[in-house]
């Protein structure tokens, strides 16, 4: 790695990582299904993020592809450096392109973690999010399943995605929450969990920070990202792109932020 993005660092799941992370959902085909049309470009962007720009926080999920991106990360970035945090997420079924169905059955969550371990080629997932809370199953059972896995050495820390204040408060009584990943951007800016995470010292990882590209098109990259970073040092955005030039613009946009 050559340098760390100038937005500074943040501690997530016990690791001091670059505050500017990289989301990998766009490294797939249309509707987040299968391989991207330009697979070599997707692999080049992963290399660029880590080795050129020093981004040490990669965010992925077993549902991206499904499985495509976890396999690509393994193929492209191993051996993983000690400072790299790969966060993944479990809790969806992907029956067809564009369809994401929450599925929180404990056995599904456990088998999904096992699958992510194999695809990423690791013995332990540093950070594993419950991608969605599934209302069809007991939240206590979903959390108990993930909470058992650190003791088995299969995951290091547990995170939550797309959750409310009540969800965070309830789960935090059962286990330490390593990070919360919710949508936050200039057009999706009302999330009470933002302040709660600050109060509880939980890293807040905004997904879709550029509004799936719409904000970058309207305002450029700099304004939306600096708007996010200004909300506090617990903010760690994970913009996503498959374009090397766009990644360069993203890194440049946070230059000077500390």
Catalytic positions, please?
A: 64
Phi-psi region of 13 (alpha: psi -120 to 50; beta: other; left: phi over 0): left
What is the per-residue burial (b if ≥16 Cβ within 10 Å, else e) of 107-120? ebbbebbebbbebb
- The torsion angles phi and psi of 156, rounded to 5 degrees, stand at -90, -45
Q: Is the peptide bond before 239 cis (omega within 30 degrees of 0)?
A: no
Residue 197 CB: number of other CB atoms within 10 A?
Answer: 23
């Amino acid at each position: 790695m050559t340098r760390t993005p100038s937005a500074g660092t943040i501690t997530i799941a016990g690791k001091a990582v670059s505050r500017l992370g990289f989301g990998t959902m766009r490294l797939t085909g249309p509707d987040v299904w299968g391989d991207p049309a330009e697979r070599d470009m997707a692999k080049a962007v992963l290399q660029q993020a880590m080795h050129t720009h020093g981004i040490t926080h990669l965010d992925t999920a077993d549902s991206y592809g499904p499985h495509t991106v976890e396999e690509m990360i393994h193929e492209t970035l191993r051996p993983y450096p000690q400072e790299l945090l790969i966060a993944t997420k479990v809790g969806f079924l992907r029956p067809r392109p564009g369809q994401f169905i929450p599925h929180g059955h404990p056995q599904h969550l456990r088998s999904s973690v096992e699958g992510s371990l194999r695809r990423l080629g690791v013995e332990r997932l540093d950070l594993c999010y419950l991608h969605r809370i599934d209302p069809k199953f007991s939240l206590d059972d979903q959390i108990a399943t993930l909470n058992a896995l650190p003791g088995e050495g299969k995951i290091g820390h547990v995170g939550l995605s797309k959750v409310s204040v009540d969800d965070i408060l309830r789960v935090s009584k059962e286990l330490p929450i390593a990070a919360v990943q919710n949508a936050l951007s200039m057009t999706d800016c009302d999330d009470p969990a933002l302040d709660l995470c600050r109060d509880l010292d939980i890293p807040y990882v905004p997904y879709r920070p550029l509004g799936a590209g719409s904000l970058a098109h309207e305002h450029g990259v700099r304004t939306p990202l600096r708007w996010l970073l200004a909300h506090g040092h617990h903010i760690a955005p994970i913009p996503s792109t498959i374009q090397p030039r766009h990644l360069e613009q993203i890194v440049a946009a946070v230059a000077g932020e500390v």
